[in-house]
Chain A
Amino acid sequence: MAKRINLQGNQACALGAIAAGCTFYAGYPITPSSEVAEAMARELPKIGGTFIQMEDEIASMGAAIGASMGGLKVMTATSGPGFSLKQENLGYASGAEIPCVIINVMRGGPSTGMPTRPAQGDIMQARWGTHGDHAIIVLTPASVAECYSETVRAFELTERLRVPVVVLIDEVIGHLVETVDLDALKPSRLVTRKFADGPAEGFEPYAVTDDMVPPFPRPGDGYRSHTTGLTHLPSGFPTQNPSKAEAALVRTTDKLDLHADLIEAVEVAECDDADVVIASVGISARAGQAAVADLRSKGVKAGLFRPKTLWPFPEAALKAATKGAKAVVVPEMNQGQMVLEVERLLKNKSVHGLGKIDGEAITPAEIVTRVTEVLA
């Protein structure tokens, strides 16, 4: 029998994490993400896992990475100011290729901003928040069911590719309660990183393998390898040799290109004959969906393009979905972040932003009005 329950987005992230095999959570409370921590504090001990509330977000990111270095599947969750604090150690996880999942429930910013109000102002920070060129994957669920399934996918990707994965949700999705069928959502298989199992003699923790994802040396398994945030050689030890340093850095970003098919995920609805495509994520995309229905009922051929993987941006899918469109409208709860990427990719199209930063979600009516203006 289907197990249909009412569930909140944040709690769905926690349950998805547990279903994906997460056994370690470190966090620091912050609205509107705290329910993730509270659910993990409740659920993890039941499965023999570990929850710890650290002294701040820097420490919680560090502790999560530390536990992952020990071989566990790990997660942390935060919002706005806490996401800013996590950035340095997030960069460490990217550079040292330590799997980890970070839930960021976006609230109004900058600074303390509007703690209980929704926003989508971290779209660029999620991609470029830590310093330096780096690999990162960002997923954007738009429903409670997707909070669960995208968190599961976040674990699959971080474990498979050894890249930190951010699950970027907005306050509305995080606090939304919807009915979901947990049995139907349960992952059919668990993806766990490939642990090194060959001979320890001559083992190189960052060797260039065919899939560009080196096997992970678990402490205690005899490899005694070195992990550092310094740019490192395949041996794990630091280098400043220009060609070797570049090769090491490029591998971590090339890795994402190589596995683009695995990473990319989009929802494309009614774009085949669309004159206007609404490109959006999270709760704004839900409004976009309603706007498409409204516009279609008025005879306007509208479609929806919704990245579920926001970064790396689904370039080919966007181009395909907007092929026949005259205009693209990008509703987002910020002053225009995702629209920059859409403009960059669709240089010859008429691309229009629809920003909102007043702490209220964008309504379908606002999108319909914007589309009507654009098509006029």
Chain B
Amino acid sequence: MKDSVNEAEFQINDYIRLDQMPHFLCPGCGHGIALRALLWAVHELGIDKDKLAVVSGIGCSGRLSAYVDANSFHTTHGRPLAFATGLALARPDLHVIVITGDGDSLAIGGNHLIHACRRNLNMTCMMLNNEIYGMTGGQVSPTTTSNRYTTTTPAGNTEPVFDACALATAAGAGFVGREVTMQVTGLKNLLRDAIAHDGFSFVEVISDCTEIYGRKNDLGVSPEMMLSQKAGMRPEAYRNTVDVPFKPNALECGMLAKNDRPEYGATYRAMVDRIRGKGA
């Protein structure tokens, strides 16, 4: 994988399917900003669109794959990492990027996420965390903040939340990071490093579902939600100063973990070569 090489100016229209516009996201939805940052990162890395495979699950987040001018696969709810695992093993020549939601990857697809982290197969998983099931009309998710209102927590959320990055780190993901959509350049840089990493990279994007979650909890419109997310960030300088392994909703941003465990596809292919008497 090439490091940042492409000096040409990023034009989003070079990477999206204009014939699929207008997109279906609500005005103010953070998912669109995340997609922009992702495509910007793809651009900076100089990835050939023919070799780009975008695999998504089901949700508002899942619908994004249809807008990317690449090989795109809109799969089933919670399972994009499973599909992507087959695709990445079958086609190591492709750059596989998974787009998923907090419900998609932490609830129904939680098992696939931890095993994808453990295997460390080369792909990037961008999880759009809007703390809600946006697509289905605003039900509680594994990341909904305590006491917040959703259609299935009419008296406020009583369940504790997941720290997705802590989960991914513990499960062994090669690269883990988090960023808010307000910091779109930082998000782009983080995604670029994640894609360039040889192994499984996981990036949690703090997105916003203005239309449903924001409205239901009086969080204001999109800019206000984004500003408060940014204000809730823990500055990088304080990272790791407090030894709390489980930090619900702690908004530590940037790259949070990185390891150089062997990439799984290469490990498997080396075994195949050994069996076939080809390897060193």
Contacts and interface: CB of A to CB of B under 8 A. Distances in A.
A27 to B, nearest CB: 12
A222 interface: yes
Contacts of A69: 73, 83, 86-87
A226 interface: yes
A251 to B, nearest CB: 20
B50 A70 contact: no
Interface in B61-89: 65-66, 69-76, 79, 82-89
A359 to B, nearest CB: 31
Residues of A in contact with B, size category = 35 or more
Contact of A24 (B20, B69, B90): B90
B205 interface: no
Interface string A48-85: 11101011101111111111111110100000000000
A89 interface: yes
Nearest to B118: A55
The list of the 8 closest CB pairs from A to B, nearest first, reads A66-B86, A62-B82, A63-B86, A70-B90, A66-B83, A67-B90, A67-B86, A219-B71
Contact of A220 (B55, B65, B74, B94): B94
A238 B112 CA distance: 26
A56 B111 contact: yes
A45 B276 contact: yes
Contacts, number: 134
Contacts of B89: 24, 50, 52, 63, 67
B180 interface: no
Interface stretch (B39-47, B151-159, B216-224, B267-275): B267-275
Interface stretch (A120-128, A166-174, A227-235, A329-337): A227-235
B51 interface: yes
A92 B86 CA distance: 15
A226 B76 contact: no
A227 B91 CA distance: 17
B49 interface: yes
Dominant secondary structure at the A interface = mixed
A69 B84 CA distance: 10
Interface of B: 17, 20, 49-51, 53, 55, 65-66, 69-76, 79, 82-91, 93-94, 111-112, 115, 268, 271-272, 275-276
A238 B66 CA distance: 9
Contacts of A54: 82, 85, 115
A38 to B, nearest CB: 15
Interface string A289-326: 00000000000000000000000000000000000000
B71 A89 contact: no
Contacts of A227: 72-74
A222 B53 CA distance: 12
B157 to A, nearest CB: 27
Interface centre among B49, B51, B76, B84 (most CB of A within 10 A): B76
Nearest to B78: A58
B115 A237 contact: no
Interface centre among B49, B55, B86 (most CB of A within 10 A): B86
A59 B111 contact: yes
A45 B276 CA distance: 8
B83 A220 contact: no
A344 interface: no
